[in-house]
Amino acid sequence: MGVERSDRRRGGRVIVLALRGGRQRCGTDRGGAPTTTMTVDGIRDAMGGQRAPNDWEPRMTDRHDVAATLRWMRDGEARFGALLAAVPDAALAEPCALPGWTRAHLVGHMARNAEALTRLATWARTGVETPMYSGPDQRNDDIEASAGHPPARLRADVTATATALDVALGAVGAAGAWTAQVRSAQGRDIPAAEVPWMRNREVWLHAVDLDAGASVDDIPAGVVDLLIADVAGVLSGKDGCPSAVLAPTDRSGTWTLGPAAGAAPTIDAPAAAIAGWLTGRSALDGTPALPRWL
């Protein structure tokens, strides 16, 4: 499954980018040089260790580039924690932005998700299979149980589990186990290097869902770009996904969504707004309905 992304800049040698299976494909200009496929690290090596130009770098980040995703994850944990600290205890029982959930449900989910991802980190490091959840009901049952905890316990829980996940991921890195294969809750076989990115989706999107003042505009540019690529790729494989060209007004490139055949409308909006629409966090006027992402 891939999401084509075209570079709209002129005058440069790189004219097409694509995200496929966590790799970056770089096309060349009309000079006829063959297209090559490189990882992000490979591109940086070819540049003598230099970073790409500022307007390009976020879109050059691979979701398995743990140097970037761990940094964003920690920033996201801090952002979520600061927002939660400003929510009064009584308001935890009020609805969050996710249908059917209170803020306590959301905070409980964040704690249990950190535990589930810690199990994947342990699996990667030890080789002993420890799935995210023991069965289909565990996730929901654990969230319901956590939502009933007193506020002080709930706050301490989400902090402690986030810290434990960070420590567990550090141990994966120390063991050189980022390429070890584990399995997501959806049944996908993934490298352990994808786990920090999975937590990024949780912390940044659920910071918005907490309904405590955050919006998709607060999400870092690199995270926004990976969200667009990741979510558009997932949606494109689902029945009923419409075709569209995603053309962020504050980016040089475009992404394609849905079936490639036929004419597709262009969706022009800031990248954060497009990411919000794809993930169901915000609406865009005149856009088609999307299937459920996760």
Q: DSSP states of 253-285 as a string?
A: EEEEES--SS---EEEE-HHHHHHHHTTSS--T
DSSP state at residue 14:
-
159 has a pLDDT exceeding 50: yes
Alpha carbons 196 and 225: distance in angstroms, whole number: 16
Mean pLDDT on 145-169: 99
Q: Could you give the count of Cα atoms lying within 13 Å of 63 in the half-sphere of its Cβ? A: 24
Query: Which pLDDT band, with edges at 50, 70 and 90, does 121 fall under?
Result: very high
Say how far residue 248 (Cα) sits from the centre of its chain.
Answer: 18
What mean pLDDT do residues 175-185 have?
Answer: 97
Q: How confident is the model at residue 46 (pLDDT cuts 50, 70, 90)?
A: very low
pLDDT for residue 293? 86
Q: Could you tell me the sign of the dihedral formed by the alpha carbons of 237, 238, 239, 241, in that order? A: negative
pLDDT higher than threshold 60 for residue 124 = yes
59's tokens: 């879109």
Given a contact cutoff of 8 angstroms between Cβ atoms, the answer to whether 293 and 234 are in contact is: yes
DSSP-based three-state secondary structure for 239: coil
Give Dmax over CA atoms of the chain in angstroms: 66
Q: Tell me which amino acid residue 184 is.
A: S
Task: Quickly count: other Cβ atoms within 10 Å of residue 268's Cβ.
Answer: 14
Q: Domains in the chain, start-ordered, CATH in brackets? A: 2-60 (no CATH), 66-214 (1.20.120.450), 221-278 (no CATH)
Residue 144 is predicted with a pLDDT of: 97
- Give, to the nearest 10 degrees, the angle between helix 103-126 and helix 138-147: 130
Rg of the Cα trace of the chain? 20
d(CA 224, CA 201): 10
User: Once rounded to an integer, what is the mean pLDDT over residues 251-258?
Assistant: 92
Q: Please report, for residues 77, 152, 157, 224, the alpha-carbon distance to residue 104 in angstroms, rounded to integers and kept in the order given.
A: 17, 11, 12, 26
Q: State the average pLDDT over residues 266-279.
A: 97
Higher pLDDT, 280 or 294: 280
Range 166-182 average pLDDT: 99
Residue listed under structure tokens 């690290």: 41
- Give the pLDDT confidence score for residue 260 in this predicted structure: 74
Q: Which residue has the higher pLDDT, 37 or 230?
A: 230
Out of 56-65, 198-207, 247-256, 257-266, which region has the weakest mean confidence (pLDDT)?
56-65
Cα–Cα dist 162/81, whole Å: 10
Q: CA-CA distance, 22 to 2, in Å (whole number)? A: 9
The three state secondary structure string of 59-86 is HHCCCCCHHHHHHHHHHHHHHHHHHHHC
E strands present in 22-163: 23-26, 36-38
pTM: predicted TM-score of the whole model, two decimal places: 0.81
What pLDDT is attached to residue 239? 93
**Is a pLDDT exceeding 70 seen at residue 130?**
yes
Lowest mean pLDDT among 32-46, 50-64, 71-85: 32-46
User: CA nearest 196: which of 98, 29, 65?
Assistant: 65
Give yes or no for a contact between 229 and 255, defined as CB atoms under 8 angstroms apart: yes
Quickly state the pLDDT bin for 45 (edges 50, 70, 90): very low
